Amino acid sequence: MPTAKLSLKKGLQDWFSRNSNVWLAFGLPALILLVGYFTRGVYPIADRNVLTVDLYHQYAPFMAELQHKLTSGGSLFYTWAGGLGVNFLTLIAYYLASPLNIITVLFPPAYLTEAILVLIVLKIGLAGACFFIFLRGVWKRDNLQMVAISIFYALSAYALAYSWNIMWLDGIFLLPLIILGLVRLVRDRRFLLYTITLALAIFCNYYIAFFIVLFTILYFPVCLFQYHSLARPRQLLAAVGRFAAFSVLAGGLAAVMLLPTYFSLSLTSAAGDHMPSTVSHYYDLFDYIGQHFMLVSPTIRDGMPNMYCGVLMLILVPAYFFAKSISPKEKLWHLALVMVLILSFNVNVLNFIWHGKHFPNQLPYRNSFVYIFLILSLGYPALHSLTEFTGKQIGSFCAAAVAVVLLAQKLNDKPMELQTLYVTVIFIVIYAAVLTLDRIREIHPSDMALALLAVVVAELLLNTLLTLHRIDTTEYYSTREGYFSGEEVEQLRDELDKIKDS
């Protein structure tokens, strides 16, 4: 028996050691976000919580009802807590289907806001960890550079701006696993990861899953022609067949949630929306470049898409397309997909299709997280390929990035804030220094990767603090007093308990 315990302990230690970078990719964004919330006075630092916008008015009350049903054994099909009664299954399908919501049963009702805080931080951390697992699975490497790219995904502008849309966050952290599953399906003929993760995404939130499914369809040809040749049509057809079959299987596995949702949605007002009769565009294409800068105001109610995913990408994406180690075919497919996604933001018809043949009421460009994923998926191979460039060439990429930032001030329809321009340029210069360290002096690759990670953490910490400040300023994080905790709420609970006992 002692031998078995020692063996189990050693096995766990080995597992944690092998996955130390996964834990780092999880822990860093979770910690940064937690620090950001604490600077806003979130409990236990002060008496505030993370509830804002619809999380305050809708999602938290729904979560409270779910918590009550899970702890009391109530029906998950119907609730009398709204009006004359509500179909609770349809609420679960959009708002509450995440398996992680089981965590709420560990918290007393008065601390439900803290349970929601834990869920948000947990899901943001999982986004970083899952993106790292994606990079490791595709590139068969395990290093700190991957951690740096991964935490950009977890703390992107989209993740921060819509972090209060707690039911969307599952799709964000599942997307990297779905695309890794797609790569394994095409490259290795292994179907399990793709099928299970896609089914789970559809089950957790069909709305975000719709974006994921569309992106997966668009990404499939990129993946297909990266690992297969036109000279072997049978292999291509077999891969297409596997993709179609296991995609349908994933939908079938989630049908228990999809079918009731479909019948419910067919009765909503949005179901009658019509395709735009004319094609139009929203912004000049150059305007989208400014959305990649640091400290850009998060888009919540209206505005341009949330596209920021690290200043480093302003350097690495051009490097990707100049790298000789990356095949022209791969570059062309990825460039085509990037352009399709940008046009999808800018053309009204494509935007309408992407949002399920519906124009969203506020919260625009809800699909921009797939664009961020794509850009960051190019970032790692570009970072790895920098060894083939001279210091002057890397410097030219950085100089070009600075020039683009300065041009944005002149060419954007909406003038950029000076702090956005200055801070973005400062970090470009810092990255230029870090990326050319090995050209200036002898330095071990691991030390260089650690220096890069330190700068990335500094960038994301600053951007997260300022983004949460702006959300708090424009939308306001609420207080615990008077919501799930506080004297008035406790008195209401006491009175309700007396009524139940009488």
Q: Is the pLDDT reported for residue 271 higher than 60? A: no
Helices (H) and strands (E) in the chain, counts: 22, 2
pLDDT tens digits, one per residue of 416-470: 888 999 999 999 999 999 999 888 888 888 899 999 999 999 999 999 999 999 9
- Between the ranges 80-84, 221-225, 259-263, 278-282, where is the mean pLDDT highest? 221-225
Q: Write down the pLDDT at residue 282.
A: 85
Q: Are 75 and 88 in contact (CB under 8 A)?
A: yes
C-alpha 266: how far from chain center = 28
Higher pLDDT, 62 or 268: 62
Q: Is the pLDDT reported for residue 272 higher than 60? A: no
Whether the model clears a pTM of 0.75, i.e. scores above it, the answer is yes
Q: Is the pLDDT reported for residue 270 higher than 60? A: no
Q: CA 26 to CA 123: how far, in whole Å? A: 9
What would the mean pLDDT of 282-292 be, rounded to a whole number? 87
Helix (H, G, I), strand (E, B) or coil at 405: helix
The residue among 204, 324, 160, 185 whose CA lies nearest residue 244 is: 185
Domain boundaries, the chain: 277-441
pLDDT tens digits, one per residue of 336-354: 999 999 999 999 899 898 8
Q: Write down the pLDDT at residue 363.
A: 85
Backbone angles phi, psi at 235, to 5 degrees: -65, -40
Residues of the chain with pLDDT > 90, as a percent, come to: 67
